[in-house]
Amino acid sequence: MNGGIKTLSVKQRILDATHGRVLGRPDWGLAQFLLLHYDEIDRLRTSDLAEICHISLSTVRRFCQSIGYDNFSDLRRAKLDNPENQYEIAVENWKNGLYQPRRLYDESRGALWEIGQKTNFDALGRLAGEMLAADATLIFALRPYTFILQEFQSQYASLGRQLFIFDSVASAAPVIETAKSLCCVTLSLAGVLFPAIDAPLCKLDGFNAAVYCPHMLREAGGESCLVHYDECFPIHARTQEYNYLELYGKYAVMYFFDMLLGLLVERCA
């Protein structure tokens, strides 16, 4: 598995396991423990997990392998590269007044107005056409967008079309191997996903679209990746703060994909 993707996906992969798969009781208990004690993972050993969760060492290893890591040591190393402290993000957002109802309203309304005014609807229509023409659509994204896009995925499936959400090209291998044609959408407002998946994405045949925040992509060193995309959809944010995007980015993304869904339904009706 790509090392860069590993460092981006630790908490997301644990969350995905609890949401997207039917876990047995031992695996469920282990996943919940890791989520509740995420900040302590650095200090834990495989034997600690086995003892605390009343499971075997092999159960710990198999769970880690099921979410893309060689073993718990591999998972722990990936987490060290990306602490992903959601508590600190939430507290910082609270201190900055980002959760205040009036600011939530103003910032969300501003973001939606910006997208409605600046989105290239001819390009969006082309993306809709390519999605419907493809055998399967793949969306590459990271938390929190993977979760809010599940509703879009459900609605798209109701049109009789296949859509899958992954955090890496490697995770999408079973779909890539069986689909006759692909349409891929890479979504990363913080920009970090673009350079992380650039090399394997270039090897895929099909239509590629990018949804990104320009100045964050520049900061992540991913601007050069855009040459590999057939259509690009910039979403402008008012600041370069990662925490800001964590909170308000999801409203912008939902609005963008709802506009896209409208075009898809129109073409299928």
Give how many domains the chain has, as a whole number: 2
Task: Note whether 232 and 209 are within 8 A (CB).
Answer: yes
Distance CA 16, CA 9 (A): 10
pLDDT beyond 80 at 85: no
CB 7 within 8 A of CB 82: yes
Range of the domain at 191: 100-268
pLDDT confidence of residue 3: 59
pLDDT tens for each residue of 221-256:
999 999 999 999 999 877 667 777 778 888 999 999
Boundary (domain end) residue, out of 81, 108, 137: 81
The per-residue pLDDT for 240 is 61
DSSP 3-state of 208: strand
Which has the closest alpha carbon to 104: 211, 89, 96, 119? 96
Based on the fold, state whether residues 77 and 104 are members of the same structural domain: no
Both 184 and 61 in one domain: the answer is no
Answer yes or no: is 189 within a domain.
yes
Full-model pTM: 0.86
- pLDDT tens-place string over residues 40-66: 999 999 999 999 999 999 999 999 999
Looking at the fold, whether 160 and 73 belong to one and the same domain comes out as no
pLDDT in tens, 140-171: 999 889 888 999 999 999 999 999 999 899 88
- pLDDT > 90? residue 21: no
**Which amino acid, residue 132?**
L
Residues 221 and 258 in one domain: yes
Query: Residue 17 — very low, low, confident or very high, per pLDDT cuts 50/70/90?
Result: confident
The CATH number for 9's domain is 1.10.10.10
Q: What is the pLDDT of residue 175?
A: 93
Confidence label for 185 from pLDDT (cuts 50, 70 and 90)? very high
Mean of the per-residue pLDDT values of the chain? 90
Write the CATH number for 254.
Answer: 3.40.50.10490
Can you tell me whether residue 33 is helix, strand or coil?
helix
Percentage of residues in the chain having pLDDT higher than 90: 65
Q: What pLDDT is attached to residue 20?
A: 63
Is 34 in the same domain as 147? no
pLDDT of 82: 79
Q: Is 86 within a domain?
A: no
Max Cα distance, the chain (Å): 58
Residue 11 lies in a domain: yes
Residue 2 has pLDDT above 70, yes or no: no
